[in-house]
Amino acid sequence: MADRHTAGITSMVANKKLLVLPGDGIGPEVMGEVRRVIDWMDRRRAVTFEVSEGLVGGAAYDAGGTALSDETMADAAASDAVLLGAVGGPKWADVPRVHRPEAGLLRLRKEMDLFANLRPALVFDALVDASTLKPEVVRGLDILILRELTGGVYFGQPRGVETLPDGSERGVDTQVYTTGEVERILRVGFDLAKKRRNKVTSVEKSNVMETGAMWRKIATRVAAEEFPDVEFDHMLADNCAMQLIRDPHQFDVIVTDNLFGDMLSDEAAMMTGSLGMLPSASLSAMDATSGRRHALYEPVHGSAPDIAGQNKANPLATLLSFGMMLRYSFDMAEDADLVEAAVQDVLGSGLRTADIAASGDEVVSTTRMGEALVEALDRRAA
Ligand code: IPM
Ligand code: MG
């Protein structure tokens, strides 16, 4: 193994080009622990990662005046997968919107056409009591929110704020969807449901919004014509927010637009006990000729500036995002299972970062969690 990097050997190994973008706040800390696991995989499993690192968000703005440089954008597009930490923080609150940390993330999503955002919400047995909901409501929960990520009000034109003659302002954002955009996200949802519990709930506001009524009409057609064997229903977004808390087990795959998906996925994430546990994958369509797709993996949580630099953050959401990368980009289901099993092991042994600790639990640091994960992997692979 040791000599696989020597000339001639490298070309025989299927290298996986991986771009790591730690970002801001707790991003670099949690990514540091995930890097340990990536290194472990590199040493111990039949895989070689060619890892490079870049700047995104406020870190990129501080270094170069923009939240994502053209070079980093090009690196991302040329990578097999991108792993991102988190972006944003109060430090950049007054930076113009086009340079805000979030703009870097939105550019990555848009330019790589990452329209399908998978946000699983899974309640680990060991964490049932960390949820603010009753254990009987959340125990065993395993749902998937599929969020449309490159359309809707996040990108619709026109947008902006104009000053009116009387000196007051008028702000505009625009919700836009095309038939093709709605069809393709629904198809991903149905395909995913077939590998799960075979149920899709399409969520919009068809009672109020034009795009919502159009979405519902398209969903009805796609379901009937292309996926007659998948259980299917519609739900209004406000009702969905309520039903998620009342009885989340009624859902399997929820397919929804960019803005509703943003909100419902935060809600679903919190039901699992902590935003610090939830991974996500953002995928483009498969290129028919190359068989490749762009992919970006990131935790659902943000940069948590209040605890940044304190070695307190939970690295598990970013680690589980790496696990999703193994599964969806690299077809390495066994290795993905191993990562998930290591997470179960550390939780099972009682280790908790502050965000998932109940009173009486021993609270561990970010780095201790990372060490424990590597120990768990060692034990599993022994
Ligand atoms: C998310 C985040 C982002 C979003 C922000 C950081 C732009 O909340 O990924 O859910 O709104 O999409
Ligand atoms: Mg969000």
Specify the CATH number for the domain of residue 332: 3.40.718.10
The number of the ligand nearest the C-alpha atom of 282 reads: 1
User: Do 136 and 39 lie in a common domain?
Assistant: no
User: Do 379 and 327 lie in a common domain?
Assistant: yes
Name the residue of 97, 105, 118, 173 to mutate for ligand 1: max ligand atoms within 8 A of Cβ: 105
What is the spatial distance between Cα 293 and Cα 329, in angstroms, rounded to a whole number? 8
Model confidence pLDDT, tens digit, residues 259-274: 999 999 989 988 888 7
Q: Which pLDDT score is estimated for 233? A: 98
What is the spatial distance between Cα 246 and Cα 232, in angstroms, rounded to a whole number? 20
Average pLDDT score over residue span 25-39: 97
> 3-7, 136-140, 197-201: which has the minimum mean pLDDT?
3-7
Domain ranges, residue 99: 1-115+284-382
User: Do 153 and 268 lie in a common domain?
Assistant: yes
- What ligand 1 atom has the least distance to the C-alpha of 102? 7
Ligand 1 neighbour 26 (Cβ under 6 A): no
Percent of the chain with pLDDT strictly greater than 70 = 96
User: Do 290 and 378 lie in a common domain?
Assistant: yes
Residue 279 forms part of a structural domain: no
Q: Provide the number of structural domains found in the chain.
A: 2
User: Do 74 and 140 lie in a common domain?
Assistant: no
Query: How many residues in the chain?
Result: 382
Select from 218, 243, 272 the last residue of a domain.
Answer: 272
Select from 272, 301, 333 the last residue of a domain.
Answer: 272
Model confidence pLDDT, tens digit, residues 47-103: 889 999 999 999 999 999 999 999 999 999 999 999 999 999 999 999 999 999 999
Residue 277 forms part of a structural domain: no
- What ligand 1 atom has the least distance to the C-alpha of 280? 9
User: Do 128 and 106 lie in a common domain?
Assistant: no
Residue 331 forms part of a structural domain: yes
Residues with CB under 5 A from ligand 2 (ion): 262
pTM of the model: 0.91
Model confidence pLDDT, tens digit, residues 324-333: 999 999 999 9
- What ligand 1 atom has the least distance to the C-alpha of 117? 9
Ligand 1 neighbour 267 (Cβ under 6 A): no
Q: Write down the number of H helices and E strands in the chain.
A: 12, 12
Tell how far the Cα of 300 is from the centroid of ligand 2, in angstroms. Answer: 7
CB 317, CB 136: distance < 8 Å:
no
User: Do 104 and 231 lie in a common domain?
Assistant: no
What is the spatial distance between Cα 148 and Cα 261, in angstroms, rounded to a whole number? 7
Residue 278 forms part of a structural domain: no
User: Do 234 and 320 lie in a common domain?
Assistant: no
- What ligand 1 atom has the least distance to the C-alpha of 106? 7
Neighbour-count burial for 78-93, b at 16+ CB within 10 Å, e otherwise? ebbbbbbbbbbbeebe
- Atom 11 (ligand 1) nearest CA: 262
At 20, is the secondary structure helix, strand, or coil? strand
User: Do 110 and 93 lie in a common domain?
Assistant: yes
Residue 321 CA: distances (Å) to CA of 136, 253, 378: 27, 18, 20
Tell how far the Cα of 324 is from the centroid of ligand 1, in angstroms. Answer: 19
Classify strands 81-86 and 253-256 as parallel, antiparallel or unpaired.
unpaired
Ligand 1 neighbour 105 (Cβ under 6 A): yes
**Which parts of the chain fold into alpha helices (H)?**
27-44, 58-64, 70-78, 101-111, 135-138, 179-194, 210-226, 237-246, 258-271, 316-328, 333-348, 366-381
Q: Which pLDDT score is estimated for 28? A: 98
User: Do 96 and 178 lie in a common domain?
Assistant: no
Query: Annotated catalytic sites, by residue?
Result: 154, 205, 238, 262, 266
CB 87, CB 107: distance < 8 Å:
no
Tell how far the Cα of 166 is from the centroid of ligand 1, in angstroms. Answer: 34
User: Do 138 and 233 lie in a common domain?
Assistant: yes
Ligand 1 neighbour 262 (Cβ under 6 A): yes
Model confidence pLDDT, tens digit, residues 296-337: 999 989 999 999 999 999 999 999 999 999 999 999 999 999
The number of the ligand nearest the C-alpha atom of 263 reads: 2
Ligand 1 neighbour 298 (Cβ under 6 A): no
Give the torsion through C-alpha atoms of 364, 368, 374, 380, to 10 deg.
-30
User: Do 105 and 167 lie in a common domain?
Assistant: no
Bridge-partner residues for 295, per DSSP? 283
Select from 233, 250, 272 the last residue of a domain.
Answer: 272
